Amino acid sequence: MPPVTFYPGPSKVYPEVANYMQDAYNEGVLSINHRSAACMDIVKATLDLLNRKLHVPADYAVFFVSSATESWEIISQSLVREQSFHLYNGAFGKKWLEYAQNLRPLSIGATFDLNTPLAASQVEIPKKTEVVCLTQNETSNGTQVSMEAIAALQSERYLTAVDATSSLGGVLLDFTKADIWLASVQKCLGLPAGLGLLICSPRALQRAWEIKERKHYNSLLFLQDNMQKFQTQYTPNVLNIYLLKRVLEQVAPIVEIADRLQKQASEWYTLFDTDASPFRLLAQNPAVRSDTVITVAAEPALLSRIKSQASQVGILLGNGYGSWKDTTFRIANFPAITPGEISMLKHFLVLNTW
């Protein structure tokens, strides 16, 4: 058995994945030609399940790429001529801005305070902005941006792009409230890494057609040419697409999953907020706290003791990330993690630190 991991990516895979991998081998999926009817059927079924289980709108296009990072680059290459505008409060949002600036140097960013909910009405969007980019769930510090705030950013003037890498599959997202969504499967979808999802509204595709960028193997228009045939421009991670299909068949409707995660998150927050707790929460404002990544601050000495004690009993805690590396640890609250595992971690923490 693998250790019980609470790492927020790569994270715990659904245990059923072991059988699905064996099935993939037995069914010949591992050697399948990616232009064959059998492969196109897998792709098509997976797209249908994304519509049904996650409520991806039928008129939005879904593309299979290799990672969330690749989607960042595709957006700059194919949907931005000169300038994207990035709102961020943590390490992933900042990284996205840096990747964007490498390709479109005029791109700019604005930070917002970790404890202050993003208020679209107070943000001044620069005139030349073509795409506004933001991270729905900032995995580095355990904060999230509400659907209302995302919706309030929508405008005729520009497209909005949302990184939902550590929330897609765990949080109820209203995809109609933004033009571009991106994620990868090794977080809330409980799968091994190596597959990314890029989801585009009709308006985003329209923009790609206006820009007509076809200089890269992963130009959005190539992706679209191929996806119209349920194919990809290069040989894709067919195994992971197959696993995604099987996992989507298995999981509860997103409304139920999101409801469970929200309750679990609030129980975590209540626990760490008690007077007896030797920890404190990095996000002090309950309104900004993530449903899927619980970020806990502690003295460095306590932090290293608790992490090594945890690993001795087969529990893997998430390290801090970016500027919070040495002062926090993170607990994934992803759907594949069971209530039993959560109570085991709670007991461990209370027993060893309270």
Q: Distance from first CA to last CA of the chain, Å, rounded? A: 29
Residue closer to ligand PLP, measured from CB, 92 or 279: 92
Which residue of 20, 92, 181, 242 would you call a contact of ligand PLP, by CB under 6 A? 92
Which residue of 143, 160, 184, 333 would you call a contact of ligand PLP, by CB under 6 A? 184
190 SS3 class: coil
Angle formed at CA 290 by CA 289 and CA 296, multiple of 5 degrees: 70
290 contacts ligand PLP (rule: CB under 6 A): no
141 contacts ligand PLP (rule: CB under 6 A): no
- Strands of the 131-135 sheet, one edge to the other: 61-65, 196-200, 180-184, 159-163, 131-135, 84-88, 108-111
Task: Work out how close the CB of 228 gets to ligand PLP at its nearest, in angstroms, rounded to a whole number.
Answer: 25
Query: Looking at this protein, which amino acid is placed at residue 37?
Result: A
Residue closer to ligand PLP, measured from CB, 160 or 165: 165
Contact 247, 241 (CB under 8 A): no
Q: Interface mask (CB under 6 A) for ligand PLP, residues 188-227, using x and -?
A: --------x-------------------------------
Helix 37-54 / helix 238-250 crossing angle, nearest 10 deg: 40
Q: How far apart are CA 62 and CA 58, in angstroms?
A: 10
**Distant-in-sequence, close-in-space partners of 305: CB < 8 Å, separation ≥ 6:** none
Tokens 């059927």 found at: 41
319 contacts ligand PLP (rule: CB under 6 A): no
Which residue of 50, 104, 107, 163 would you call a contact of ligand PLP, by CB under 6 A? 163
- Pairing verdict, β 315-316 and 4-5: parallel
Q: How far apart are CA 20 and CA 40, in angstroms?
A: 18
333 contacts ligand PLP (rule: CB under 6 A): no
Contact 248, 49 (CB under 8 A): yes
Residue closer to ligand PLP, measured from CB, 183 or 349: 183
Q: List 281's β-bridge partners, or say none.
A: 296
Q: What is the dihedral of CA 149, 154, 157, 158, to 10 degrees?
A: 80
Which residue of 83, 89, 144, 165 would you call a contact of ligand PLP, by CB under 6 A? 165
Tokens for 322? Answer: 């970016």
How many chain residues bind ligand PLP (CB under 6 A)?
Answer: 12
Residue closer to ligand PLP, measured from CB, 89 or 166: 166
Task: Work out how close the CB of 195 gets to ligand PLP at its nearest, in angstroms, rounded to a whole number.
Answer: 8
Task: Work out how close the CB of 121 gets to ligand PLP at its nearest, in angstroms, rounded to a whole number.
Answer: 24
Task: Work out how close the CB of 66 gets to ligand PLP at its nearest, in angstroms, rounded to a whole number.
Answer: 8
Nearest to 331 by CA among 166, 194, 195: 166
Q: Which stretch binds ligand PLP (CB under 6 A): 63-71, 76-84, 249-257, 281-289?
A: 63-71
Which residue of 49, 68, 191, 296 would you call a contact of ligand PLP, by CB under 6 A? 68
Residue closer to ligand PLP, measured from CB, 163 or 179: 163
11 contacts ligand PLP (rule: CB under 6 A): no
Residue closer to ligand PLP, measured from CB, 89 or 139: 139
Which stretches of the chain bind ligand PLP, using CB under 6 A?
Answer: 9, 67-69, 92, 135, 139, 163, 165-166, 184, 196
